[in-house]
Every structure is written in structure tokens, then in C-alpha cells.
Amino acid sequence: MQKDMKNKIALITGASRGLGRSVAKSLAKKGVELILVARTISALEELDDEIKSLGSKSTIVPMDLEDNDSIDVLGGEIHKKWGKLDILVSSAATVGEITPVSHLDPKIWNKVINLNLSVNFRLIRSFEPLLKNSSQSYAIFVSDNNSKSIKPFWAPYNISKLGLENLIKIWKKEIERTNIKAIIFEPGDMKTAMRASFMPGENNKNLNNPEDISEKIIDLIKF
């Protein structure tokens, strides 16, 4: 049975849309105070209003995670204001281009590997001390089961997600004697704007709704 989540602090990346947005709202309903990270300030402000209407509160952080050093700055600010982090949900990701490896723009390769993999390394590096300062904490990283299959044209995305899963598996072993529970979460195919951007015209009738998937994430958190 889940205990009361009031007085818990959660940080969500990719909070302005899709699964990140849905998770933020689900946590707000539990009374969690939220730190919302995304690039689009207007979407963050809209979400902030929704969270207030749910009786919780949030701090919006408009930032580009691809500026890796800004993650360290954010970690310092969280330490100053709250001194801890109880929940981390890393859902920010990008597909890049679906194209043969030999045609891939190096800038796209770097962008996908950075956001989907390197950013998560920086989140771990900056936020592990904050997660340790909680009596019990959860770090949830959104991956993709589809990346385990060898699919032509999807090289940067698949490689970045496979790398992410191995990164988290290694980190889990390193922190197994701590209060941190690291989780790799695979939501399945979802009805999101990101998916629609690379699967135009797809019949989305059988796709998962982010709102339903967010509840599965909440079920993983048992204080």
C-alpha cells in the first residue's frame, strides 16, 4: 500500500508534454511538490496552473538539458532550497532522424546520444547526493523495449536507449546498499506528439495513453 506522498519532492524531465506531463499531474494528485524541467516555458506555465488547481505546487525550470553543465547548476539550486530529492523521473528524449547510418547528420547523432544517454549520466552525477539525502528515493528512467530489436534506420535512438539501460543497470549495482531504488521503465508504444512526428498517419487506436501509463509509474513508488 502506498503511503502519503505529501512533503515529497519530485523532479520530472520532459515535463511539458507526453508521459512527463502526465506523470507530473499524477504525482500532484498525491500531494507531491514538483520541479518541472522542459524547454517550452509556455507549456510549463500551463502545467503549473493545472498542478495548482490539483492542490499541489511546482517550480518550473525552463532549460535545455543538452546544456549539460546546467544540470549541475540545477542540482546546486535544489540542494539550497530543498536539500533532498525523493523522486526523479527522467522522460525527456528525442528520436532524431530515421535514416541510414551513412546518411546521418553528425549533429543529429550527437543530439540524440546526448539527450537520451549523456544527460542521464549527468542527472545521476548531479542528483545522486540529493537522492541519498532522502530517507527513501526513487530514480525512474524511461526507456523503450523496441530498442532491443535490430531495426535499420534507427541507429542513434536505439543505441542511446540500449546505452541508457546499461548505464542504469551498472548504477543500480553501485547503489544497491543505499536508499535509492533505480528503475528502468518501458511504457510501450504511446499516443504522443513525439510518436506522431515520426509515424504520421498511424492508426493510434491501440496505442497506450500517457495518462494510463503514468499511473503504472506511480504504482512503482512505495514510500
Number of domains composing the chain: 1
Residue 95 included in any domain: yes
As a whole number, mean pLDDT of residues 173-186 equals 97
Query: Could you tell me the residue range of the domain that residue 35 belongs to?
Result: 9-220
Give the pLDDT score at 1.
38
Overall residue count recorded for the chain in this entry: 223
Q: Are 89 and 95 in contact (CB under 8 A)?
A: no
Give the pLDDT score at 185.
96
For residue 90, the SS3 value is strand
Residue 4 included in any domain: no
Q: What is the mean pLDDT of the chain?
A: 93
What is the C-alpha to C-alpha distance for residues 84 and 10, in angstroms, rounded to an integer? Answer: 10
Banded model confidence at residue 194, pLDDT cuts 50, 70, 90: confident
Q: Is the pLDDT of residue 92 over 70?
A: yes
Residue 188 included in any domain: yes
Q: Are 20 and 91 in contact (CB under 8 A)?
A: yes
- Which H or E run contains 8? none
Banded model confidence at residue 209, pLDDT cuts 50, 70, 90: confident
Residue 194 included in any domain: yes
State the Rg of the chain over Cα.
Answer: 17
Give the pLDDT score at 3.
55
Nearest to 157 by CA among 110, 103, 200, 113: 113
Give the model confidence (pLDDT) of 102-153 as tens digits.
Answer: 999 999 999 999 999 999 999 999 999 999 999 999 999 999 988 888 889 9
Least confident of 42-51, 186-195, 211-220: 186-195
- Which CATH number is 215's domain given? 3.40.50.720
pTM (2 d.p.)? 0.92
Q: Is the pLDDT of residue 203 over 50?
A: yes
Residue 167 included in any domain: yes
Residue 3 included in any domain: no
